[in-house]
Amino acid sequence: MVATPNIKDTQTRALAIYNFPTEFLKATQVRVQIASVKNVGIKVTQLRTLVLVKGRTENRHLRAWGFTLDGHDMWAIRLGETETLVYDRLSRTWYVWKGEGLPYWRAHQGIPWVGMAAPTYAAGAVCDVVAGDDDQGILWQLRPQQAYDDNALDNGVSYFDRVVTGALPVRMRDSVPCDGVYLAANMGEPAYTGASVTLNISDDKGKSWWSAGSVEVVDGEDTAEIAWRSLGVMQAPGRLFSIEDDGAVNRIDGLEMPE
């Protein structure tokens, strides 16, 4: 090999491997070929770079598992990358559970940990349901009283949205005035300052929605009223009401409209 300050490279091809989440790369075989000729300066006429990134792979398997949470026997069904359906045997109701920014629930497989020891409860556990994350390789512990999710990678929290939808049918050619609706829920215990309840309305079977506004729930005001007034006129086929909150209330008893 002869040292030279001038290199001419007519073709360059670089291969890079990036492995997440480790910061180190171990290669068992490395091959490097260098051809050098005398020239003035460096000239590259063609450059091609290939990068192999290892990340989350799609999980298209159907998974089902059961657990008991807060006195409710639940059955969770993970439909691959599509969604997670949860059936509550006590209320005989189906729900859709999602992770933040995801169409499915990240806890894709779990089990009641019958042998959970006292130190785990002393650390803050309130139930024995433990589930595995489908991406980060961590274990989730369910807490029905907690209004937020812990962040998987740091010490932050994520307040999750809860949505309840109901319908009020209108038949024939009747026009029914909607002077207002009132939400019956537990008040005065929001998960954080500024938490609110939002009412969304659809008059075309859910094809389009419009917002009636948000009402903030204040800590300690347990007799406050959540109401939306002057909501126009309802016609066939009826109206859909969607209640959405991000930690404002823990329980919704119903949405009422005066006659």
pLDDT given at position 173: 86
Which residues of the chain are in CATH 2.60.120 domains?
A: 162-256
Q: What pLDDT, on the 0 to 100 scale, is given for residue 66?
A: 93
pLDDT (0 to 100) of residue 250 = 82
Please report the pLDDT score of residue 114 as a whole number. Answer: 77
Tokens linked to 159: 């307040």
Instruction: Quote the pLDDT of residue 143.
Output: 81
Please state, in angstroms and rounded to a whole number, the distance separating the CA atoms of residues 247 and 134: 25
pLDDT of residue 99: 82
Specify the pTM: 0.62
Q: How many residues does the chain have?
A: 259
In which residue ranges of the chain is pLDDT below 50? 1, 18-19, 32
The pLDDT score that the predictor gives to residue 51 is 72
The residue type at 134: D
Task: Kindly report, residue by residue over 211-258, the tens digit of the pLDDT.
Answer: 999 999 999 998 888 999 999 999 999 999 999 998 898 888 899 998
- Which pLDDT value is given to residue 178? 94
> Cα dihedral angle (225, 231, 233, 238), rounded to 10 degrees?
-70
What's the CA angle centered on 163, arms 211 and 153, to 5 degrees?
115
Would you identify the CATH topology of the domain 162-256? Jelly Rolls (2.60.120)
The answer to whether residues 74 and 89 touch, using CB atoms and an 8 Å cutoff, is: yes
